[in-house]
Amino acid sequence: MSAEIAATPSRKAEIEAKCFSCHGPMAKRAGLKDGALPTLEMVYTDTDRSQILLDGVSCTVCHQSTEENFGEESGYSGNFVVNDYREIYGPHANPFGMPMSRMSGYDPVYGDHVLESALCGTCHTLFTNTLDPDGTATGDRFAEQTPYLEWRNSVYNDEVTNLSPDAASCQDCHQPKTSVDGVEIRTEIARMGGMHGGMGGGMFPARSPYGRHVFVGANTFVPTLIRDNAAELQPNASAAALNATIAAAREELQERTATMELVEASRVGDRVRLTLRLENLAGHKLPTGFPSRRAWVRLEVIDDTGEVPFASGVTDDKGRLLNLDGEVLASEAAGGPIQAHRNLISSDEEVLIFEDIMGDVNGNATFTLLRAAVHLKDNRLLPKGWNPNHPDAEHTGVYGAASQDGNFVDGADTVTYEVRAPVENGPYRVRAAFLYQTLNPRFAAELFSFDTAEVETLERYYAASGSPPETMAELEYVLE
């Protein structure tokens, strides 16, 4: 946020209003009532309003949202409607409300719309207004993130009449209704005086569904950053809680996000061809959301002496991409070139990176959200069932070279590596991994070009740990 404000100071109020709509929704809505809209400076004050701003998204934000504009453009970009009656919606009819009403001042009422993906879509569909380099609005808007629309344009969509066998809501994955052992959760939804079982009379029977509010995703970077800088940041969460979040995200990445298989390994003389197929198991693009995220393939060919005659996508301990000489690729530096989408790789300087690269009004790459006018490159893996004729295809499509790649299809992509590997130095061990980063070094480098206190703090944290990649899938193969 501070970087966006530094890029366009004249738009400070608009930037704060946009960002805090989803990241500080309680303070934003309180401010709409009394005129004290949240600002970046408010974060550093010690007031009741600053505390609810720092709390971010609370239980009462989602559970007090009505279904008034669900799935409609008027509801996107954080424009959900919160009721004024202090009613808390949940998926259970006739709840016994006295404990909640007495302890919190909110009344629980039945509203199963909290189970709908469209609730998530109010914030996880974000459009920004495009600005010229001088900060003048062009009148256009840019789809900064569209996970909900991507889900709607997939086999996972459960809003349609004819459901696919794969249909599942956002909540089905990010708020699982089963225990970690896969058992359906049934629980009381009210207690009195600490007693269970309805005061001995079965007044409060166990009910389902109950979603574990873990909101597990792919982000290990931020909880790690908070944990490692807890002395300065003073989070309420313990190190153990943050470690549990990190572990859950790693499990999600490794077990339910993507697969990789070797579909061909052939030799012609001293050259070998290795073809990999990457499949997206998520209900949206991979990666999705904020455009700092990327996924890529690391492939190494190792000879019988342990030497590596070919590698693509290897990183240093900070998560920066390297060539065979251990030099950081130029594409990792601010202002550097962009790695093109490829279906054939034959150089250690070439890496297959799945990412969204924004472009400004002049067609130049930009890493500033309000300068974004077009997608120069969007080869993020499509969800299974993506349809180019779907109403949401415009905002969920493929841009750049991937749109002309016949191997790039809904749910998957195929890439071939052609490398020199003389027979006399074999057998060779092929080692491949499909990797993910929340904050990639190129995006970070561009961000760090802004001189603000907040950016300086993040840069200091980042310098200590970098952004090591997480593994989604891996394989090994012995090539004679």
Contacting residues for 104 by C-beta, under 8 A, at least 6 apart: none
**Residue 439 Cα distances to 145, 313, 332, 464, angstroms:** 15, 16, 12, 14
Categorise residue 117: left if φ over 0, alpha if ψ from -120 to 50, beta otherwise. Answer: alpha
Count of domains for the chain = 1
Tell whether 109 is covered by a domain. no
> Can you give the pTM of this predicted structure?
0.96
Residue 15: burial class (beta carbons within 10 Å; 0-12, 13-18, 19+): buried
User: In this predicted structure, what is the pLDDT of residue 199?
Assistant: 44
Which residues, 6 or more positions from 349, have their beta carbon under 8 angstroms from its beta carbon? Answer: 323, 329
Phi-psi region of 400 (alpha: psi -120 to 50; beta: other; left: phi over 0): left
pLDDT of residue 190: 80
Number of helices (H), then strands (E), in the chain: 15, 16
318 class by beta-carbon count within 10 Å (0-12 exposed, 13-18 middle, 19+ buried): middle
Is-contact 172 151, C-beta < 8 A?
A: no
| pLDDT of res. 197 | 47
The phi and psi torsions of 34 (rounded to 5 degrees) equal -110, 0
Which of 363, 367, 370 has the alpha carbon at shortest distance from 138?
Answer: 370
Q: What is the pLDDT of residue 265?
A: 96
Contacts 24+ apart (CB under 8 A), 177-183: 177/208, 177/209, 177/210, 177/211, 177/212, 179/212
**8-state DSSP, 332:** G
Domain contains 90: no
Q: What does DSSP say about strands 87-90 and 107-110: parallel, antiparallel, or unpaired? A: parallel
Indicate whether 352 belongs to any domain. Answer: yes
Q: Where are the beta strands (DSSP E) in 241-309?
A: 258-268, 271-280, 294-302
Tokens of 286: 């991979």
Query: How many CB atoms within 10 Å of residue 102?
Result: 9
**353, part of any domain:** yes
In sequence order, the 6+-apart residues with CB closer than 8 A to the CB of 312 are 297, 298, 299, 345, 347, 348, 350, 351, 352, 417
Q: How many Cβ atoms sit within 10 Å of the Cβ of residue 138?
A: 12
Q: Model confidence over 130-143: pLDDT tens digits?
A: 999 989 999 999 99
| CA 311 to each of CA 167, 304, 345, 349, 419: distance values in angstroms, whole numbers, following the listed order | 39, 15, 10, 9, 9
Say whether 342 sits in a helix, a strand or coil: coil
Quick one: angle between helices 25-34 and 48-55, nearest 10? Answer: 140
Amino acid at 410: D
- Would residue 208 count as lying in a domain? no
CA-nearest of 286, 252, 71, 217 to 157 is 71
User: Which token pair is 1?
Assistant: 């946020």
For residue 383, the one-letter residue type is P
> Based on the number of CB atoms within 10 Å of its own CB, is 183 exposed (0-12), middle (13-18) or buried (19 or more)?
exposed
**CA 119, CA 70: separation in Å to the nearest integer?**
6
| Residues 245-265: tens digit of each pLDDT | 999 999 999 999 999 999 999
Tell me how far CA of residue 144 lies from CA of 78, 236, 288, 372, in angstroms.
13, 30, 10, 8
pLDDT of residue 198: 42
- Which stretches in the chain have pLDDT values below 50? 197-201
**14 falls within a domain:** no
Distant-in-sequence, close-in-space partners of 311: CB < 8 Å, separation ≥ 6: 298, 299, 300, 301, 324, 348
pLDDT score recorded for residue 191: 72
Which residue bears the tokens 């740990």?
465
| Paired tokens of 52 | 């609810």
φ, ψ (nearest 5 deg) of residue 37: -65, 145
Q: Which helix (H) or strand (E) holds 89?
A: strand 87-90
- Say if 367 falls within a structural domain: yes
- Nearest of 344, 347, 361, 372 to residue 443 by alpha carbon: 372
Asked if the structure places residue 146 within a domain, the reply is no
Range of the domain at 330: 251-479
